[in-house]
Each structure stands twice: as structure tokens, then as C-alpha cells.
Structure 1
Amino acid sequence: PPGPRGYPVLGNVLELRTDTHLALTRLSRRYGDVMEVRIGTRPVLVLSGLDTIRQALVKQGEDFMGRPDLPSFHYISNGQSLAFSPDSGEVWKARRKLAQSALKSFSIAPSPTSSCSCLLEEHVSKEAEYLVTKFLQLMEEDKRFDLNQCLVVSVANVICAMCFGKRYEHEDQELLSVVNLGNEFGEVAGSGHPADFIPVLRYLPSRTMEVFKDINRRFNAFVQKIVQEHYSTFNKEHIRDITDSLIGHCQENSTGEDTRVQLSNEKIIHIVNDLFGAGFDTVATALSWSLMYVALYPDVQKKIHEELDRTIGRERRPRLSDRGTLPYTEAFILEMFRHSSFLPFTIPHSTTKATVLNGYYIPKDTCVFVNQWQVNHDETMKYKKCEAFQIRQRFAERSSL
């Protein structure tokens, strides 16, 4: 694939070191939706454009489902993470399927104690009610509060309820330590690891890498402690949460095909690590953006309130089953995801075999970046040019007059 020329050893790092998503978008305008840049000494395939990304990740999903073998990934769950492991073989697929099954079963399982449609909804609804009370209390006492800190703790509580069957108080030091670990992980991982792309740096001392290793060790220890507690109180007749579900599978004397997905204690810890970490930062960030948008656009906030009051009333909290009757609220949520683009890139992908994309030959084990920000930006530009948008704009102008 085409791409810009880089410097020896550094490659195109100097062009990409600030606002990487904007720099790659500018380059894609020149070189196309499939281009190659060099980060350090490593060639990286950059995919832009909705059709190209859909072709790679959906239609040719098997070819692009791998993860690159980056040194920093080896320190996440001791290299056994489902999300970051370069392994994409049959054993990995079977364990991923098991993790998805455990997560799904405890998400959609009926709630035994409330009118909620499922356990996940019950946990979210209870935590949301507490969060609103917390906001009101902080406003009354301090007249201000750290929005993100409250949201992160609440999101962590929902995930703890699903994975560990317990809810923490917001001031609980154990929970706060996990929240801080999550924040530290995001900061260190977001800053990047040059040694992933410039091999010679792996032999030099790196303060950032040492911090990264320590964060992963502490998080692993936290999950390990809870898994051990679950083992000591496990009852196969009473599966309490996702961890119990995984332990139950581990203790089954399966034969035949299932023998390949037998889980050790260590593997259970790694799967719980993945499930816990997957929704931790992203969900909290999405909620933060949502609340900041409705604060910035009070007219939108008012319409959401009117729809909720008209459709649901104030006697009960919203439920998942209300989704079909709340089109404006759902439109706001989807637009927030598109407009904010708070995750400009996915976790890097890797090709599992040599393949062809848009007429270009892509070798096996090629590191792949997906520029989601560029897709959102381009689709917005197309939308603004479409007839439906222009009609709506003219209608809005006439209404205001």
C-alpha cells in the first residue's frame, strides 16, 4: 500500500506524535483508505473510510481478527488476555466464547428481586438511583463536584456486581484503589510505548514501562484475591455471578471437545480481568460525554426530559423495554457516540494470514490501525450535504421565524 516516506529508525513518528488521528486523516486524504506508515521500524497498515473498514473487519473479519505481538501486551494478564493476546487459534476462540456466554447469561438473566427485565438492568437502575442522590448531595454541600470520579465509581460498581456479586460503597478504599488503577492504566497505555515499535528501546530502562507493569500486577492481585474468595465459598447449586460461572466450568470433568477450554485458576483470573476492564473506562467516558453534552445543550436536555415524562412518567425508572418508545433519547445517545469520537482508534488489529484488501497485498502479522475518528468525521460531512438534512435545516429556520 502507498504511504509517506519516513526517517531511518524513527519512521513517521515525528508526523504522528501529536493529534495522531488528525495526522492520519490528513495522510489518508493523500494516500487513500488503505495506506502504510512506519512507526519506528515497524510497518503499520492504517484503514480509513467506512466501506474499507467494513470490508476488513466484517466481510474479511477472519483475516483481520488477530492482535499484534507487541511487548507491552505481554504484561496485560501475563500475556493471556483475550483482548490483547496475539493468539487467535481454536483454544482462544473457545475461551472467548465461554467468556461471552458467562457475560451474556448474567446480563439477560431475569431479576429475582425486582420488576427489572434482567439482572444487568437491576444493577444499572440501582446504581443510577444512588448516583443521582449522590449528585444532589454534593451540589447541596459543595455546590460543585468531580463528575467523572462519581461516574467511574458507579460504573465499577455495576461491573463488580456482575463479576463478583457485590456492591461497594463509593468511599470504600478497595473500590477506589481499583478505580485509580483503571485511571492509571488509561493514562500510561494512552501515552504509548515506543519500545513496541523501536526494538532497541526494549533494552533501555523505561520508567513508563515499569509503571505499566506495576499497574497490571496490582490489578491482577486484586482479581486473584476475589477469585480465591469465590473458590472458598463456591456452591455449584447456587451460581452467584460471572466468576462462579467460570469456576463451575473449571470444576466440571468435561471430555471431548470441551477439554480444550478447561480453565485453570489463573485462566479464570485473566478472563475476569478482561471482562472487568472492557467496560470500565469506556462506559464511564461515554456517560461523562453524555452529561456534558446535555449541560451544553439545555434545549436537548429539555426534550429528553419531556419524552421521558410523557412516555414513562416519574413513578418509575426507565427500563430496557422502553427503548422502542424513546426515539429522541436513543437518537441523542447514538449522536453522542458519533460526535464525541472519544475513542479515535480501536485496539490495534493484526492480519492472521496474507490477504488482499482493496487490491493491495497485505502480509500475515501486519499491525493494523483503524481510524474511527476519520469515519465519523466523513459521515458527518456526507450527512450535512444530504437532502434530508437540508430540508430539516430549512424547516427549523422557518419554525424559528
Structure 2
Amino acid sequence: ISYPISSLILIALTVFCLTFMVIRSFRKQIPKGLKRLPGPRGYPLIGNVLELRSNPHLTLTQMSQTYGDVMQIQIGTRPVLVLSGEDFMGRPDLYSFHHIGDGQSLTFSTDSGEVWRARRNPNSSSTCLLEEHVSKEADYLVMKFLQLMKEEKRFDPYRYMVVSVANVICAMCFGKRYDHDDQELLSIVNLNNEFGEVAASGNPADFIPVLQYLPNRTMKIFKDLNKRFVSFLQKIVKEHSCSFDKDNIRDITDSLIRHCQEKKVDESANIQLSDQKIVNIVNDLFGAGFDTVTTALSWSLMYLVTYPEIQKKIQKELDQMIGRERKPRLSDRLMLPYTEAFILEMFRHSSFLPFTIPHWKLWKDPSTFNPERFLKAEGTEVNRAESEKVMTFGLGKRKCLGESIGRWEVFLFLTILLQQLEFSVCDGEKVDITPSLWTDHEAQEV
């Protein structure tokens, strides 16, 4: 079948016009009188996705040197504002975030107002038991690691640390410590690991909205994981509500229930916490106190086996300042400046969360792992001006609600383990500590 040239030209023009109109309909128009923000031009439909490649944090840093601290890129059909300065506030309104905690997650909410602040405040109560919970779990890890070394001569510490950290946050939030082979505890750990894997894979529908209406296996798994975990938390909160005694506050959940009841009695209160919001706050606290700490401990051990001389300095400081007669406590932090400096450098240098570490503008030799950068000249005190530049937990009103719990847990776990154990990598093996966008918890035997 042959067509006249004029018909082919007409078809081509029609296809071109339709394509142009579709692309134009997805692009947000710039209001009259305003200029487009500086930034690289993207390709139709996919934007700058190809330029970001496998290390988007490095690519965006290079772009910011060309276009400035405030620039615009295009991911799919969605314009994305990239800030390279120090003002971190709010969250992007992404499609995926609407399915975390039924869209009411404190961590992933775009809200920064009174409700957000009211929901942050109760977190400070019930933390007095943290030291006791961490101490029990660290003792278990020491015993387990010694047993594994005696029987197998080598092991992957992460698989045991992740369960201990989960147990601490369960004790803090639910007032319950599980046996390490308890199926409910292991299901919580597995749920969290699955959630991390699915979330890390990204969701194209966040940036190409039309994909929200198409079948998406990853998004289906993402929604299912959130529903399963929220269902588990609803059961726990319901049990707490039934057995609640205002004169016997057992954990953070009890503290939140009391806060909720007090606000209901106070009719003049502007902000009240509902039962569902209690579930959402516990959900956020669990996430902040679980994955954050396991990631930090995993990185810490990788640095310690990579730099054994640093491990020896920490152990020497522990021996001199605390000895072996008692376990380290939170009150010892000021007495252990080198240990504190190591933890700060671990947070600064590692791939903790994407885009939270402004390496290049703030640090001399940012790629070098050097705890001494956080010590004053005499080496007996942490330089607070330098330590405040470490923004792993964010800053300002929207910084991580679990920052205190996270920092305290890492300090206690690390010091108790290093007081009694020495870690080294297996002969002939190397640990990859190259910073990247996400931390993959691959098996690393020691």
C-alpha cells in the first residue's frame, strides 16, 4: 500500500503536534514576569534522569557548582528544586509518602505547623530506660559474638545487631523485650528490611504522575508493607489502651496515651492527639530508632576493621577513663572525647541517608576518614563548633525526632562492645567503605 507524499507529511505533522501538546501539558508554565530557575535542560518526558546516573549526590554537587545553590532539574515530568545550602525544612509532596502511615507519618509529612510541633513534644518522656535496655542487648551481643567465635571463628555481626536494636526500640515503645528467636520480633525486622529495599528502589510515579494509574508491582509491595506494619502497631496501641494506668507509665506508647487523654480533658487545648496519630508517632519513632541505629553501627564496625589503629585508640581511652570494672554510661560521654569524635566522623563520612551531608563546602579533605578533625588542639575535648556541622539528623524545626535516642544508642552499643571485644576483618577480605547513595547491608564477616 502506498500513500501520497502529502498524506505522509500530514501524518508526521499530526504526530509531532500531538507529542508536543502532551509534553507541554505536563510542563508547568512559569508565571508572567518570573524567570525559570537556573539548571540543566532535560529531555522530553524523562527530564534529567540520564544525567543523574548511579551517583546522583555527586552529579548534583557538580551541577550546583555550575548553576548555584538553588537550581531546578527535571525528573520525569516533575520539576525538582535542589537546595545545596543549609536551610532544610519540609518534605516534598511525593505520591509514595501518602502511603506511609496512612499519609499521616510525622517523618514524611509536608506539615511543619502546630500539629507537627505538638506531635514531636511527647518524645522526650520514657527515655530514662534507654540505658538499661541498650545495656541488656549489648551484653547479649558480647555473649553471642564470643560464642560464635568459639564455634565458627567468623560471623556476620549485622544479622545479630539488627535484632538487638529492634529489641531496644520495642522495649522503648512497647515496654516489651523479646527473645532473639521470637517470631513476632523477627517479622518486625523482616518488615523493616523489606521496606528499606523497596523504598530504596524508588518509585517513578513520584515524578511521572500518570504512572500512578498503571499497574506497579513495587508500589503494591510498598503499600502492603505499610499496611502490615500499621496493623501491627494498631494492635499494640489497642492493647496498651486497654491496660493503661496513668499512675504506671510503662513506655513511650503509654506516655502518648496519657498526653492524648490530658489534651482531651483540656478543652482549651488547640491541638489534640487522636489514637490514630499515636499509632503514626510510634511508627515514626520506630523507624527513627531502628534503621538509623543499625546503619550507624554497621558503618562503625566497617570503619573500625578498616582502621584498626583507630579501634585501638578508642579501646585505650575506654581502659584509661572507665576500666573494666563497670560498663560505660551516657554520663561518660564527656570523658571519652576520641570516641565521640569517631562517632561524629562516622556520621559525617558514611552514606547514612541521601543528601544529608554537605561534604565539600564544610570540610578539609572530606574524603579522608579522620576523627581528629573534631577534637580541639590539645585532643582532650570535642570541638563543638565542628560537631554542629554534622547534620546527619537534619537541622532546624524538621530535624529527626529520634536524634537523641539515635546518638545515645550508638554511643552505648559501641562503647560496651569495644570495652570487651576487638573486631577484625577475615584474612584476605576487604570492606568497601566507599560512600554512595544508600547503604547495602551485605554480609561482612569478622
Query: TM-score under structure 2 normalisation?
Result: 0.71
Distance 2:277 2:332 in 1: 38
Give the aligned partner of residue 127 of structure 1.
137
| Code of the aligned partner of 2:126 | F
Moved more, 209-218 or 132-141: 132-141
Distance 1:184 1:151 in 2: 17
Give the aligned partner of residue 108 of structure 2.
84
Q: CA deviation at 1:281?
A: 0.8
Which of 211, 226, 233 is 2:221 aligned to? 211
Is 1:5 aligned to residue 41 of structure 2?
A: yes
Give the aligned partner of residue 255 of structure 1.
266
Distance 2:360 2:277 in 1: 40
Q: Does the Cα contact within 8 Å between 1:341 and 1:376 map onto a contact in 2?
A: no
Which of 296, 303, 311 is 1:286 aligned to? 296
| Code of the aligned partner of 1:212 | F
Is 1:104 aligned to residue 115 of structure 2?
A: no
Structure showing greater relative contact order (alpha-carbon pairs closer than 8 Å, 6 or more residues apart): 1
Give the aligned partner of residue 17 of structure 2.
none
Give the aligned partner of residue 376 of structure 1.
359
Local SS of the residue matching 1:36: strand
Cα RMSD (Å) of the superposition?
A: 2.1
Distance 2:159 2:228 in 1: 20
Distance 1:327 1:96 in 2: 30
| Code of the aligned partner of 1:16 | L
Distance 2:46 2:331 in 1: 53
Which of 315, 318, 339 is 1:329 aligned to? 339
After TM superposition, the structure 1 = structure 2 runs for residues 32-181 of structure 1, keeping only pairs within 5 Å, are 32-48=68-84, 52-53=85-86, 56-57=87-88, 65-97=89-121, 101=122, 103-107=123-127, 109=128, 119-181=129-191
Unpaired segments ≥5 residues, structure 1: 58-64, 110-118, 346-371, 393-401
- 1:300-340 CA distances to partner (integer Å, 9 max, x unpaired)? 11111111011100011111111111111111111111121
Q: CA deviation at 1:383?
A: 7.0
Give the aligned partner of residue 66 of structure 2.
30
- 1:214-242 CA distances to partner (integer Å, 9 max, x unpaired)? 11011111111111211221111111011
Q: Does the Cα contact within 8 Å between 2:173 and 2:282 map onto a contact in 1?
A: yes
Distance 1:328 1:230 in 2: 42
| Code of the aligned partner of 1:76 | I
Q: Does the Cα contact within 8 Å between 1:77 and 1:270 map onto a contact in 2?
A: yes
Local SS of the residue matching 1:45: strand
Give the aligned partner of residue 18 of structure 1.
54
Percentage identity across aligned positions? 68
Give the aligned partner of residue 272 of structure 1.
282
- 1:65-107 CA distances to partner (integer Å, 9 max, x unpaired)? 322221111111100111112233322332233xxx3x21211
Distance 2:44 2:99 in 1: 28
Distance 2:48 2:361 in 1: 24
Distance 1:152 1:320 in 2: 21
Q: CA deviation at 1:136?
A: 1.3
Distance 1:30 1:242 in 2: 47
Distance 1:217 1:142 in 2: 39
Distance 2:68 2:93 in 1: 26
| Code of the aligned partner of 1:41 | T
Query: TM-score under structure 1 normalisation?
Result: 0.79
Q: Does the Cα contact within 8 Å between 1:68 and 1:86 map onto a contact in 2?
A: yes
Distance 2:259 2:333 in 1: 34
Distance 2:168 2:211 in 1: 40
Distance 2:352 2:113 in 1: 31
Unpaired segments ≥5 residues, structure 2: 1-36, 377-446
Q: CA deviation at 1:274?
A: 0.8
Distance 1:218 1:377 in 2: 41
Local SS of the residue matching 1:341: coil
Local SS of the residue matching 1:38: strand
After TM superposition, the structure 1 = structure 2 runs for residues 336-347 of structure 1, keeping only pairs within 5 Å, are 336-345=346-355
Is 1:302 aligned to residue 338 of structure 2?
A: no
Distance 2:277 2:310 in 1: 46
Q: Does the Cα contact within 8 Å between 1:250 and 1:264 map onto a contact in 2?
A: yes
Q: CA deviation at 1:130?
A: 1.2
| Code of the aligned partner of 2:250 | R
Q: CA deviation at 1:384?
A: 9.3
Q: CA deviation at 1:382?
A: 5.6
Local SS of the residue matching 2:363: helix
Distance 1:154 1:220 in 2: 21
Q: CA deviation at 1:127?
A: 1.3
Aligned residues: 334
| Code of the aligned partner of 1:66 | G
| Code of the aligned partner of 1:271 | I
Local SS of the residue matching 1:35: strand
